[in-house]
Structure 1
Amino acid sequence: MIFKGTATALITPFTSDGVDFESLDRILDDQLAGGVDAVVVLGTTGEPATMSAEEKKAVIEFSVKKLKGRLPVIVGTGANSTKAAVEMSVLAEKMGADALLLVTPYYNKATQRGLIEHFRAVADAVHTPIICYNVPGRTGVNMLPATFAELAEHENIAAIKEASGNMEQIEEAIRLSEGKAVVYSGDDGITIPVMAMGGMGVISVASNAAPRFTAEMTSAFLAGDLKKAAKMQLDMLPFVRALFSEVNPIPVKKAMQLRGLCNGLLRLPLTEMTAENAAKLEKLLPSFI
């Protein structure tokens, strides 16, 4: 298993003309201190769609070098093109990634058979474990539980990040893949419900700004303290709503700026958080850090 508990889908801090590695170093130290179980670089929250190939390579290299042997580094290598996804996955593997996170191809809107062939092509090209990433609200295609269960037969396909928001579908994915692969919540608002049904943790946006709180919540569940975990999940809901009051990662980058961990710069077409929403987030943030 790649991890149990909390993996942070990290932001990528930027300068006006590149990646802010000084801030990234601070952020990785904060994640280590917060006790998270893994980190994801170049996932949706990391804004890879607006990064150059060289910037992506540099982020992978920096993160792997800093965290090797201390924390698993999962690298987002998904692409709309199967060929591009294979190439990026092979590169990340060579650079030392502990696992690969691949979003379903977007815009092309593959059929379920197309999804199976896409992920198998990547899995055949690498030896590193793969986490499929289902987020139909962004991609326009929904990986069905039966599709994931079929993919889970491949030795290199280890998990799915399920961000459909559909609990019945997530439960079915857990049921059909049991003993073959694991399911991670892709939604901070339902982490504990997913774990209660057999999920192994969360790939979290919230744990950028609140690593200690999020890791403590999932650790409580894994230690058998469901009452504590459930209370923390409920307490967290207003914060989660604030973090998704605008398109991710706009709010979480603001939260990281408020914590002094980065300057909060975004790349177009993402724009700065509205003052009204930022004020709500700023009011909630201290309770979770």
Structure 2
Amino acid sequence: MKGLYSALLVPFDEEGNILESGLRQIIRQNIEEQKIDGLYVNGSSGENFLMNTIQKKKVFEIVKDEAGNEIKLIAQVGALDLKEAIELGQYATELGYDALSAVTPFYYPFNFEEIKYYYDAIIEATGNDMIIYSIPALTGVNLSIQQFDELFKNEKVIGIKYTAADFFLLERIRKAFPDKLILSGFDEMLIQAAVSGVDGAIGSTYNINGRRARQIFNLAKEGNIQEAYERQHETNDIIEQVLALGIYPTLKAVLSTKGIEAGSVKRPLAPLDDDSLEKVKELVSKYNL
């Protein structure tokens, strides 16, 4: 399960319906052009928390049908409704996904025992491997190394998607659990994560910038830090502009310039205006995206 994964984008029409043909095109360009090792499906970048259960299942089905066994597939099934999370986990497992992932329960102030119960329940019901999705900035859940240790006692918890800027904790986790999978979730800090010993990364910008991400990761692992930083600086110039315009509509707009049916974002997220779309064209031209 090591390697670089695109956090898959999902295209929608103006009514919020999934554009199946566009989704298949995005999958193919991730595989054939960006050369990613796998897809992280129905995460934040897929606007998962704006979709209903039927739509989430449809995405899982389309992705597996299109990608087959060409790459690794991780199904993010986390939901506030544990019953839905289990239902999605069982569905993705039956489809043949290589592993599940689930965001930590959020919004309500869940204690650790409740969080552990959530993961254990999904694993027990599905029998699949689990990758903890830790993203404190959006969930407010900061797991300690002792709590990760407790979660790892379930042998089906094989690793973490680590989307946090605490590199001290990352180093402590890497040292304490050398056999667990750690996938970094911050595209703009890939070099720092690679130097810290992660096994790979999951990124939304890899949908358009996967080749540079590969260069950064490989160079850092080989010890070519200066050259890796040069690629990271260029990548972060791109990311800075993408974030300024709005990450999900901008990534879709970049794909649209390549002739891909990338659709729109799902409301209440807002599409780009004409001025922003012109800036996207400039971005694509400048960085050869």
State TM-score, norm by structure 2: 0.90
Supply the distance in 2 between the matched residues of 1:225 and 1:260 (Cα, whole angstroms): 35
Per-residue Cα deviation, 1:213-240 (whole angstroms, up to 9, x for no partner): 2233323344554443332112211111
Residue 274 of structure 1: CA displacement? 5.3
* One-letter code aligned to 1:59: V
Residue 108 of structure 1: CA displacement? 1.5
Percent identity reads 23
Would the aligned equivalents of 2:106 and 2:139 in 1 still touch at CA under 8 Å?
A: yes
Partner of 1:28: 27
Partner of 2:160: 160
Partner of 1:119: 119
* One-letter code aligned to 2:269: L
* One-letter code aligned to 2:142: N
Partner of 2:104: 104
For this pair of structures, how many residues does the alignment match? 286
Supply the distance in 2 between the matched residues of 1:216 and 1:130 (Cα, whole angstroms): 28
Partner of 2:5: 7
Query: CA-atom RMSD, angstroms?
Result: 2.1
Question: How has the CA–CA distance of structure 1 residues 249 and 144 changed in structure 2, closer, same or farther, with 3 Å as cutoff?
Answer: farther
Partner of 1:67: 67
Task: Show the 5 A alignment for 1:195-274.
Answer: 195-223=194-222, 225-245=224-244, 248-273=247-272
Report SS of the residue matched to 1:209: helix
Residue 276 of structure 1: CA displacement? 5.7
Q: Which runs of 5+ in 1 are unaligned?
A: none
Supply the distance in 1 between the matched residues of 2:277 and 2:162 (Cα, whole angstroms): 28
Would the aligned equivalents of 2:60 and 2:75 in 1 still touch at CA under 8 Å?
A: yes
Would the aligned equivalents of 1:245 and 1:251 in 2 still touch at CA under 8 Å?
A: no
Report SS of the residue matched to 2:2: coil
Supply the distance in 2 between the matched residues of 1:79 and 1:288 (Cα, whole angstroms): 37
Q: Which runs of 5+ in 2 are unaligned?
A: none
Residue 271 of structure 1: CA displacement? 0.5
Residue 189 of structure 1: CA displacement? 0.8
Residue 241 of structure 1: CA displacement? 1.6
Report SS of the residue matched to 1:151: helix
State TM-score, norm by structure 1: 0.90
